[in-house]
Amino acid sequence: MIKVFSPKLSYRDKLSVFRALTKNEISGTSNKVQEFEERLASSFNRKYSVVCSNGSVALDIAFQLMNLKKDDEVILPSFTIISCLSAIVRTGATPVFCDVDSKTWNMQIQDVKNVYTNNTKAVLMVHTYGLTADVKEIKKFCKEKKLKIIEDTAEAHGQYFDNIQCGSIGDVSTLSFYANKHVTTGEGGAILTNNFEIYKKAKQMINLDFKNSKRFFHDNLYWNYRLGGLQSALGLSQLNNLNRVILSKIKQGKKYTYLFNKYNVDIDLPVTSTDHSFNHFWVYGIVLKDNVNRDDVAKKLSDAGIETRPFFYPLHLQPSAKIFKQKNKNLINSERLGTQGLYLPLGKHVRPWQQKKIVLQVKKIIQGN
């Protein structure tokens, strides 16, 4: 089976973890954790970074820090991971779903404006599948309307919109270090900010509200969301490989696009670039025509030894989101992507000859439908 992803750990990655082990740098209070946080903050040109147990936790903490109230509305793309919805709902605020662009699969300024109301207090800016949201226009609009920006950079580590680095945009920005990310610690996440008060509170929220001044006295009921020293040691090593990973994925993504075009496969392909950024191909996604059954294609590819994954299913159609009144239910791009989108094996474990095999198998299955 050709896997959708397979994390590759280098000798240096393993050596970094081994060295942490030999020095007993294993817990969440390890010096490796602080070193990882400082390195992350520096790499994003941020003042502060707080690492935590996973990307979903990072989103949870980010929203808890925004002081949102009941009846406050937060705009987010419907085409994204369920963690985004969960983080908003747990604050008591109301999620408001917007559509995404049919070509880039990311939220654009008009999508945000379509659902904005006087109750809107924040925008969750999500960068999806290797490209970016409409950064400049959304940021400008949020500044005009005095809206907070929470930026989900889980799939855009190392990405830029023009000269603006993703992860440096939000009042709070979040990262994920899950095993399929450009930088992995197995499980892990991070919160980035330039605000000291946000940083200080985030530190308390991931650590049971422990304080250096008075141990075992807790003013708040917070969580233990710490990241460990071993994971931080791996993350530090992984950061050294970020550019190589991105360049490798761009090369593979372009290879897929070349092959699909060469063999005239009748599908919609991801854009290689926009006016503002090059696709980093966090995943290589394809969108099947409306007359093709996506799940049937996935099953046949699996039978042929090729693993795939469906695209995100739109949040506004999730059973868990039925209680929220959606102002604009006509989110046609999100719905089409959610039913017709599929992403293919990508990463160093996938060889060029396997890419060709995958492309030809997709063509064979589609033509047989």
Place of tokens 């090729």: 306
Phi/psi class of residue 127: alpha, beta or left (left: φ > 0; alpha: ψ in -120 to 50)? beta
Q: 117 to each of 78, 94, 122, how far by Cα in Å?
A: 17, 12, 11
Q: How far apart are CA 357 and CA 218, in angstroms?
A: 58
Per-residue DSSP letters for 275-328? SS-B---SSEEEE--TTS-HHHHHHHHHHTTB--EEPPPPGGGSGGGTTSPPS-
Contact 7, 355 (CB under 8 A): no
Place of tokens 């930088």: 183
Reduce the DSSP state of residue 110 to 3 states and report it: helix
Contact 335, 241 (CB under 8 A): no
330: Cα separation from own chain's centroid: 24
Q: 92 to each of 13, 178, 310, 347, how far by Cα in Å?
A: 41, 27, 30, 39
Which tokens hold the place of 289?
């025509």
301 contact partners, CB below 8 Å, separation of at least 6? 307, 308, 358, 361, 362, 365
Contact 291, 364 (CB under 8 A): no
Write the pLDDT tens digit of every residue in 9-21.
Answer: 999 999 999 999 9
Q: How far apart are CA 203 and CA 208, in angstroms?
A: 9
Residue 256 is predicted with a pLDDT of 98
Domains of the chain: 11-239 (3.40.640.10), 243-368 (3.90.1150.10)
Task: Give the global pTM.
Answer: 0.95
Residue 327 is predicted with a pLDDT of 60
104 contact partners, CB below 8 Å, separation of at least 6? 131, 271, 274
Residue 214 is predicted with a pLDDT of 75
Phi/psi class of residue 267: alpha, beta or left (left: φ > 0; alpha: ψ in -120 to 50)? beta
Residue 369 is predicted with a pLDDT of 59
Residues of the chain where predicted confidence (pLDDT) is lower than 70 = 325-329, 369
